[in-house]
A and B are shown apart, each in its own frame.
Chain A
Amino acid sequence: MTVNILLFKITLLVYFVATIFYLIGVISRKERFRQNAVYLLIGGFVLHCITLAVRWVATGAIPVASLHESLSFFAWTLVGIYLIFYLRYRTVMLGAFITPLALVLMIIGTTTSAQAPALNPMLDSWWFPVHVTLALLGHAIFAIAAAAGVMYLLQERMLKSKKFSGLFYRLPSLDTLDSMNYKCLTFGFPLMTMGIISGAIWANSAWGGYWRWDPKETWALISWFLYAALLHGRLTVGWRGRRAAIFAIIGFGFLLFTFFGVNLFLSGEHSFRNFTGQ
């Protein structure tokens, strides 16, 4: 396990440096920092892939069972999906939002036990990793939507008030940000839906019931309805721009609460404590 922990820490360090570079790149007008931030992040991502692969080989299961593992996995999907978006839209600014978020997830990860969980036999089902992977992929995509939403609101405020800060010159156009919102929704929503369905199937095999109104399930359902409303609004009524951006930000807030809040404040079947018996 020590190799794995070492790799995890190096990855975290690289993300930390990348975050610093992004922040300097955004605050100052130094193009070089922004470009190097992207390279650093790519390097960090490769390291992260190795970290996860080593752990997978060592434990023999997709590393999503403990809080530590799922935090690391969440950060990994976040960075990976950002890099895919970077290839498509070439927007460095997005990274200035996503990289710190991934870093925070990793830091929280260090405070949790990195011990390989003695897996509860209930979880020893093929549906479990499928459920978690789909759900976290959905979360990561919605995180991008939320970051695009924040950028949209900043940019829109400047265009409306006609007061421009240096940031204005580096933000992508409103149309680009809005189309990111839509793209995220069309990919994130099916993933989230499949995540919930696969979770229900797994719950049925583990506990003998598809849906138990456990707090995490309830909050996930609330978030799902929120995104469903946004998708519906976009497709039929012509919602877009500001409203879509605000929805994406609130929606991600709900997702974060579902992920953390439920574990921290409420108890239920989804609490990792129940999984690992700690």
Chain B
Amino acid sequence: MHIVIVGLSHKTAPVEIRERLAFAPTAMQRPLQKLLELPPVAEGLIVSTCNRVELCAATKEPDVAISAMRRFLAEYHEITPSEIDDHLYDYQGEDAIRHLFRVASSLDSMVLGEPQILGQIKTAYGYAAEYKTAGLILNRFLHKAFSVAKRVRTETAIASNAVSVSFAAVELARKIFDRIDNKAVMIIGAGEMCELAARHFITNGVSKVLVTNRTFARAEKLAAEFQGKAVPFENFVDHLVEADIVLTSTGAPNFILGQRHMEDVLKRRKNRPMFLIDIAVPRDIDPKVNSLDNAYLYDVDDLQGVVQANLKERKKEASKAEAIVEQEIGQFHQWLANLEVKPTIIALRRKFEEIRQQELDKTFGNLKDLSGKDRKSIEAMANAIINKILHQPTTVLKQSQNDASGNDHVDAVRTLFDLPAPADDDKEIKPLGDPGQE
């Protein structure tokens, strides 16, 4: 059994293509069952997010399955295959395992290390389990992928530094204040970004919120929403003394906070540090404020810079994560190979046993006057012959579990000795896949 993946992602396809190939998350039953109806597909799973669509299957004939899945993707969405062919990638065997492990660990994400993808794959697996399109192999495969993702998350710092502007602001505040749950935040103006950043501070537990706006009614509205206090815009500078964190985004054409104001505020705060975040363009706060002791001023570009630095840090961690993925691929591959090798060895032995029994019956039928002792020795000799013959092939098969040659050897043995296909795993899975079919 092999694992194959056909799909496309933000790396291979623009959004116009991705949106046409997406599967609605609320109606997964039909596509999953259609996928399973493809002849070579034994088990199937569909991951569909705004950044990627992945069809994952367990199959005996990887190449046939891949072309069938490529066609399926086009036909299902009523697109001519040539239109999407260049955007699709496909993986099989070890590469397919690597691909899903990397995707689940967020190594293939647009924002490296973002946590949502794991949840999305879990949801996708949930549907496959619910509609019974995932069986023995995909169950094991997906659970392995989840545990790899968990290992990556706990053993590397890939997800540790903020990569959005508003999270970066919260993280910087933690670098200055240590705790922000006993700090006060003041919101000046009401830009969208400003509100978003304020929300992040509030969910991270700031204890006090002050809001000011040129239109006092808007300040009051926002204050009510954040359970804070509205402050008249005319004398907001007086209230700055209470604020540890200041978020500004007014439409003012000039600076509304200058160096002189801030010197005064800091003195009245007894130099307790202040973190000022100026999201407005044009800027609201004179950049000279940053040169004052205990005042830390960040504008939009500065925050973007922090995000870039954090991303770089994540990239360094990614190489550690890749190493973890490589380790785990081997383990899973071995399990998969084992799945084939064991039944093959058993079938091979059974075949030889049958031949031995037939030939013994024939021989004993012709030689009726043999003593019990003679019959025993002939039986023992036949036994010894098959054991000796089988010894080497069995050893090779067992060893080949550990490397890529496993499948070739299994195929060779099955062809040479005309062993029946291991029907048992088909029986185990197909009926689960589509109960209506039986």
Contacts and interface: CB of A to CB of B under 8 A. Distances in A.
A164 B306 contact: yes
Contacts of B306: 162, 164
Interface string B288-307: 00110110101000100110
Contacts of B296: 159-160
Interface stretch (B97-105, B115-123, B175-183): B175-183
Interface in B138-184: 157, 160-161, 172, 174-179
Interface residues on B, range: 20 to 34
Interface stretch (A138-146, A168-176, A254-262, A270-278): A168-176
A92 B306 CA distance: 24
B316 interface: yes
Nearest to B269: A238
Interface string A213-242: 000000000000000000000000011111
Contacts of B177: 173-175
A175 B178 contact: yes
Most-contacted residue by chain A among B157, B294, B296, B317 (CB, 10 A) = B294
Contacts of B30: none
A241 B293 contact: yes
A240 to B, nearest CB: 5
A155 B178 CA distance: 13
B401 to A, nearest CB: 33
B273 interface: yes
Q: Which of B160, B175, B290, B317 is most buried by chain A, counting CB atoms within 10 A of its CB?
A: B175
B271 interface: yes
A243 interface: yes
B309 interface: yes
Interface in B379-432: none
A32 to B, nearest CB: 11
* Chain A binding surface SS class: helix
Nearest to B299: A162
A29 B314 CA distance: 12
Contacts of B273: 174-175, 241
Interface in B313-359: 313, 316-317
A28 to B, nearest CB: 11
B270 interface: yes
A166 interface: yes
B294 A241 contact: yes
B293 A175 contact: no
A169 B271 CA distance: 25
Interface of B: 157, 160-161, 172, 174-179, 270-273, 290-291, 293-294, 296, 298, 302, 305-306, 309, 313, 316-317
25 contacts: A29-B317, A159-B172, A159-B175, A160-B290, A160-B296, A162-B298, A162-B302, A162-B305, A164-B306, A164-B309, A169-B313, A171-B175, A173-B174, A173-B178, A174-B176, A174-B273, A175-B176, A175-B178, A176-B178, A238-B270, A240-B271, A240-B294, A241-B293, A242-B293, A243-B293
Interface of A: 29, 155, 159-160, 162, 164, 166, 168-169, 171-176, 238-243
In the A-B complex, the 10 residue pairs with the closest CB atoms = A238-B270, A173-B178, A175-B178, A238-B271, A176-B178, A164-B309, A162-B302, A174-B176, A175-B177, A241-B294
